[in-house]
Amino acid sequence: MAKKQIALIGGGQIGGVLAQLIGLRELANVVLFDVVEDMPQGKTLDIAEASRVDGFDVSLKGTNEYKDIAGSDLVIITAGLPRKPGMSRDDLLVTNAKIMKSVAEGVKQFAPNSIVLIISNPLDAMVTLFQKVSGFAHNKVIGQAGVLDSSRFSTFIAWELGVSVKDINAMVLGGHGDTMVPLVRYANVNGVPVMEQLERKYGDAAKAKEVMDAMVQRTKMAGGEVVKLLKTGSAFYSPAAAAISMAEAILGDQKRVLASCVYLNGEYGVEGYYVGVPAVLGEKGCEKILEVTLDKEEQAAFDNSVNAVTTLVADMERLGF
Ligand code: A3D
């Protein structure tokens, strides 16, 4: 069977890890595009030269020309600047909006039938802008944030409980910013509520809540924690891994339920905005949105996060995008 093709727009930190992971998993052939001359060619050459050792066989092409992405089944976009210490994701708005506009025009012209997965920040605004400029169907334009935020939340819970992270199910909804909503009540260890385990561990509901609150706060600030340590950029291994799970779900038509930044058309009471919610991902992109019953407090936190997204999108529009 002919291999599928993934175009990676942006060959920086995340783009490079994506290319390597796609190769290692033989998920698809790769076209790595960047505006920096020779760099994507160098990265793909380097990864290809590891293929004999790692035992994978896919085609890897680096390019500075959009025409080379023709025929791509999936396009993953990381083009844009990452955060530096002290910056919020929203600080990247103008620079990355200009970049995203040019990317959307290139993808529209050369890969009009692709499904598009966006990672560039500020995420919710960049997904909105790509869809607007490209005119692609809403279900074919999806943002990656929730898989990573959920994985971060799960990791902190696993460390706290001293159990394998593989057995933690926890999800984060809302926009990809400080207002994101880790769903505490639904977080579980193979079906057993995490809060119940924390209460058993500490023998005290108040202490359990305090520990959970700290994990929720760390999850919301987890991107910034990495930025502060790296000093020169933002997280790249984990965002790449998160996007790969979404790419596998889409190309393999797996119908996986993954927290994704998808277009809401009345679901969760939101009309016409891209927001992070659990979605079924398959060959058509976002095939279905799963609604979760939220209690009063969770709903208020979700509404607050949606507010942050609508404000960000309004700012972007005011700036002419
Ligand atoms: P970086 O290593 O700087 O790579 C970005 C690449 O984009 C560079 O190689 C640039 O040359 C390239 N680029 C710039 N302009 C263009 C253009 N017009 N067309 C094509 N390529 C261009 O950054 P990174 O890989 O670390 O991060 C990429 C983006 O992902 C940033 O916006 C980050 O903020 C964002 N990010 C998102 C998450 C989420 O979970 C949503 C997590 C981490 C980073």
Which residue from 9, 3, 25, 7 is spatially nearest to 241, judged by alpha carbons? 25
pLDDT along the chain (321 residues), means of 10: 89 98 98 98 98 97 98 98 84 93 98 98 97 98 98 98 98 96 98 98 98 98 96 96 98 98 97 98 98 97 97 94 95
Class of domain 5-145: alpha beta
Alpha carbon nearest to ligand 1 atom 35, residue: 120
Please indicate, yes or no, whether the overall pTM of this predicted structure exceeds 0.95: yes
Report the relative pairing of strands 285-289 and 181-182 from DSSP bridges: unpaired
Cα angle 228, 173, 163 (rounded to 5 degrees) comes to 70
Q: What is the pLDDT of residue 91?
A: 85
Domain residue spans of the chain: 5-145, 146-321
Contacts of 153 (CB under 8 A, 6+ apart): 170, 171, 172, 182, 187, 215, 216, 219
- If you classify domain 146-321 with CATH, what class do you get? alpha beta
Q: Which residues line ligand 1 (CB under 6 A)?
A: 9-15, 34-36, 78-83, 92, 96, 99, 102-103, 119-121, 123, 144-145, 148, 176, 233-236, 239
CA–centroid distance, residue 121 to ligand 1 (Å) = 8
